[in-house]
Structure 1
Amino acid sequence: MSTEKTVRKQSGEVEDNELRLDREKSKEIVEALNDDLADSYTLYHQLRKHHWNVEGAEFRDLHIFLGEAAENTEAAADEIAERLQALGGAPVSSMPNLAERSTVEPEDSNVYAIRESLRNDLAMYGDVIESLREHVELATELGDHATAQILRDILVQTEEDAHHIEHYLEDDTLVAETSNE
């Protein structure tokens, strides 16, 4: 581990940027993007957990889908982090800070039946989607149309992945859970 302690930028600090967006507006957007970044990593880790632990009749398809959905989420996180850095901010990055910053509640570390896992994923996707929509509006209102477009593009992919999960949860997919009747 490095012993270097020279800090170039404090976490939470927003500097002037070359994008010609006012620092106060940038601060608001950076705050929102850091929430989106933390939420993305929370979703990413939950999707990876389910990717690793999926079993059952549709294992292969779900394993592939969950891996791709996690990759989509990781790519979104990267876009968000790069944008907030361009705005003069510092992306939240340590695991404790990401966990503290996340506005979505992850599933615990136990392994559940795939239907329950997918329902938990879908609930988290819904929260992430709502937040992305709010932040698209915020960026638009503050005149940061590029950030709004980046978030719109992420929103399209996020909604598409959530919609796929809806299809997996239909009655005619996956092996139905047995009841004790």
Structure 2
Amino acid sequence: MSTQKHVRQQAGTVEENALRLERGKAEQLVEALNTDLAATYVAYHQIKKHHWNVEGAEFRELHVYLGEVAADLEAGADAFAERAQALGGVPLAGGATLEANAPVSPEGEDVYDIRTSLENDLEMFGDIIESLRDHIALAENLGDYTTSEILRRNVEVVEEHAHHFEHYLEDDTLVTEGAVQ
């Protein structure tokens, strides 16, 4: 283990950046990106939980699909963190820090039936979509079109997955326990 203890930049700070975006604007954008980073990682961990625990008639398809959703969320989180760093900020890190700064809450540790799990995911994705849209507007208003584009690409992916969750939750899918017709 390294004995070096030099802090290059303290968490929660924003330094000058090579992108020539003034510090006040960068601070607002880093805060927004860190909020979306935190929300995305909370969603990632909830989706992974569902990926690991899915059971039932559509197990294989949902297991694979939820793995794809998790990979998309991880890619989005990475883009948010890298942009926050490029703007002179420090991306949030650590499970407790991410959860404390997320505008969404995970469903908890219990394992639910897949219908309930997907309903919880859909609700969380709706909250994330609203946050992303607000932050797109913020980036546009501050003249940071690159951050806006990163957020736009991500909201498109999250909206697509929310739409797919909605399809999975239709009445004619996902066999329900004890259903007699």
Q: TM-score if structure 1 supplies the norm length?
A: 0.96
Structure 2 CA distance for aligned equivalents of residues 62 and 46 of structure 1 = 14
Structure 2 CA distance for aligned equivalents of residues 2 and 178 of structure 1 = 58
Give the equivalent residue in structure 1 for 2:147. Answer: 147
Give the equivalent residue in structure 1 for 2:174. Answer: 174
Q: How many corresponding residue pairs?
A: 180
Give the equivalent residue in structure 2 for 1:89. Answer: 89
The one-letter amino acid of 2:85's match is Q
Give the equivalent residue in structure 2 for 1:100. Answer: 100
Give the equivalent residue in structure 1 for 2:125. Answer: 125
The one-letter amino acid of 2:66's match is L
What CA deviation, in whole Å up to 9, does each residue of 1:18-58 have, x standing for no partner?
11111100000000100000000000000000000000000
Structure 2 CA distance for aligned equivalents of residues 19 and 129 of structure 1 = 27
1:128 aligned counterpart, secondary structure:
helix
Give the equivalent residue in structure 1 for 2:68. Answer: 68
Give the equivalent residue in structure 2 for 1:112. Answer: 112
Structure 2 CA distance for aligned equivalents of residues 177 and 56 of structure 1 = 9
Structure 2 CA distance for aligned equivalents of residues 132 and 159 of structure 1 = 10
Give the equivalent residue in structure 2 for 1:52. Answer: 52
What CA deviation, in whole Å up to 9, does each residue of 1:139-180 have, x standing for no partner?
000000110011000010110011100000000111024369
Structure 1 CA distance for aligned equivalents of residues 122 and 154 of structure 2 = 16
Structure 1 CA distance for aligned equivalents of residues 3 and 102 of structure 2 = 29
Structure 2 CA distance for aligned equivalents of residues 95 and 5 of structure 1 = 22
Structure 2 CA distance for aligned equivalents of residues 166 and 119 of structure 1 = 8
* RMSD of aligned alpha carbons: 1.2
What is the CA distance between 1:3 and its match in structure 2?
4.4
What is the CA distance between 1:4 and its match in structure 2?
3.2
The one-letter amino acid of 1:160's match is E
What CA deviation, in whole Å up to 9, does each residue of 1:103-147 have, x standing for no partner?
101010000000000000000000000000000000000000110
Structure 2 CA distance for aligned equivalents of residues 160 and 40 of structure 1 = 15
Structure 2 CA distance for aligned equivalents of residues 36 and 164 of structure 1 = 21
Structure 2 contact 129–158 (Cα < 8 Å) conserved: yes
Structure 2 CA distance for aligned equivalents of residues 177 and 127 of structure 1 = 29
Gap regions ≥5 residues in structure 1 = none
Structure 1 CA distance for aligned equivalents of residues 3 and 16 of structure 2 = 29
Gap regions ≥5 residues in structure 2 = none
